[in-house]
A and B are shown apart, each in its own frame.
Chain A
């Protein structure tokens, strides 16, 4: 089966002009594929380039070289490394979603509206989206009394769950998750991980970064190890995590 995401020879070099044009190589030729129904987790020590891969795919970073092919809903393929900005903007929220621990929910709309609107952007009818939004917030254990609150008044962990509900209500074809449980307590973490585990069965392709090896075990169908911007191993979580030192 054709992968949803097909990254070939991805390089990312930062040029720091204020530091005498010093070059920092974050990614040095990364190639990987993620199919629909697959959850590929990137692992490796801090600074290995895990988040840089996600940010290049989402185009928060401009890739320096290589190709990032996304197979779109209609079956056509686009190279995210070269697509014009306005086309990338159009793909965001509809075909590619990105959830990190740092994303802030939009102000002035209630939590329920934020999630329902995400559903409508994903093609749901208004009434269906409202119903699905309520279910999503319930599943993520957001207290019902907070549904009509503006997310800006919520705690970091509550906002994060609103973001996750919005990103997964009508899951994009490709979900990029960067430490989405970092700010959560144990009970909420379990609720989020249940949700994350269900995503591949709903047909999404997931590319993630989680630091906790136990979580990798639980959610990933495949793990890719990165070291200094290059892939050093690629395999089933059980095979890889037994031998690899992830710290």
Chain B
């Protein structure tokens, strides 16, 4: 398949790591029957992300996937499964321990993102890669205006003409259904749903081909969340975006994702079409996750 984003063998280890970390952690480590491990990550199963030899935390290991232009991939799992770690590592917020990632838009897919220096990674975020965080305070400066937030990546991308930047910001805020007459208001005066819309506008500012969404609606009321999900879906379709959306919520997967990866203890335990995963989950963990959501 032709991909917009490709990730291979991604691993993230906190605390130095050792050569035994991969085999000493994960869903299968130390368990006679992987089917018996706990769905509740706070239970005894949680220790499986900690290497018993060196004490490092293996947050993600051997994660590989491809996302095509216009396609949406979901990553589902509980808190601590490593799903946000994967997204943040691709976004450049965390440093990988192993693996590689490529954007088709960057040097025709020839350059591994993880080999770029910090400045180059920052430029990417003002270019081919957009990111939407669960907490708007992470993705936005709440003490400047909505317009100012959207203009920021444009400035970073080298836009210099103020009127043009402002009109681009107005266009994006309109597109994400933020009242344009509130463009000059400080973001901290906005509701949660509106802040997420500003974040989406900012993520789209430089017309990236790939947008990463980390629990984009988890902090919102159900009705507000539904509106934001709709907006994301509509924009992705219209702009032909490749999206990766991380969530613990099957409703979000159902709305946004065509294919889904299930993560557990830092590993991908299953991948499939979203409806197949919901109606015919294969892995013991996926079966428990789906049953718990019903």
Contacts and interface: CB of A to CB of B under 8 A. Distances in A.
A85 B280 contact: no
B9 interface: no
B56 to A, nearest CB: 30
Contact of A18 (B259, B271, B275, B288): B288
B279 A85 contact: no
A194 B258 CA distance: 32
A167 to B, nearest CB: 15
A85 B230 contact: no
Nearest to A15: B282
A59 B230 contact: no
Contacts of B226: 107
B259 A62 contact: no
B225 interface: no
A108 B234 CA distance: 9
A15 B287 CA distance: 10
Interface string A40-66: 000000000000000100011110000
B47 interface: no
B280 A17 contact: no
Given A14-B280, A21-B35, A55-B279, A62 B272 contact: yes
A201 to B, nearest CB: 30
B283 to A, nearest CB: 8
Contact of A60 (B71, B279, B282, B283): B279
Nearest to A87: B1
A21 B34 CA distance: 12
Contacts of A247: none
Contacts of B276: 59-62, 85
Interface in A9-45: 14-18, 21
Contact of A17 (B1, B68, B284): B284
Contacts of B280: 14, 55, 60-62
Contacts of B279: 55, 60-61
Given A62-B282, A108-B234, A18 B291 contact: yes
A24 B259 CA distance: 26
A125 interface: no
Interface residues of B, number: 22
B35 A108 contact: no
B38 interface: no
Most A CB contacts (10 A, CB to CB) among B280, B287, B288 go to B280
Nearest to B71: A86
A89 interface: yes
A88 B273 contact: yes
Interface in B240-294: 258-259, 271-273, 275-276, 279-280, 282-284, 287-288, 291
A89 B258 contact: yes
A85 B259 contact: yes
Contacts of A86: 1, 68, 71, 259
A18 B234 contact: no
B91 to A, nearest CB: 23
Nearest to B288: A18
The 7 A-B pairs of least Cβ separation, nearest first, read A17-B284, A17-B35, A61-B280, A108-B230, A60-B275, A89-B258, A85-B273
28 contacts: A16-B287, A17-B35, A17-B283, A17-B287, A17-B288, A18-B287, A18-B291, A21-B35, A55-B279, A59-B276, A60-B273, A60-B275, A60-B279, A61-B276, A61-B279, A62-B276, A62-B280, A85-B259, A85-B271, A85-B273, A85-B276, A86-B1, A86-B68, A86-B259, A87-B1, A89-B71, A89-B273, A108-B230
Given A62-B272, A86-B68, A87-B1, 8 more contacts: A14-B280, A15-B282, A17-B283, A17-B287, A17-B288, A18-B284, A60-B280, A61-B279
Interface of A: 14-18, 21, 55, 59-62, 84-89, 107-108
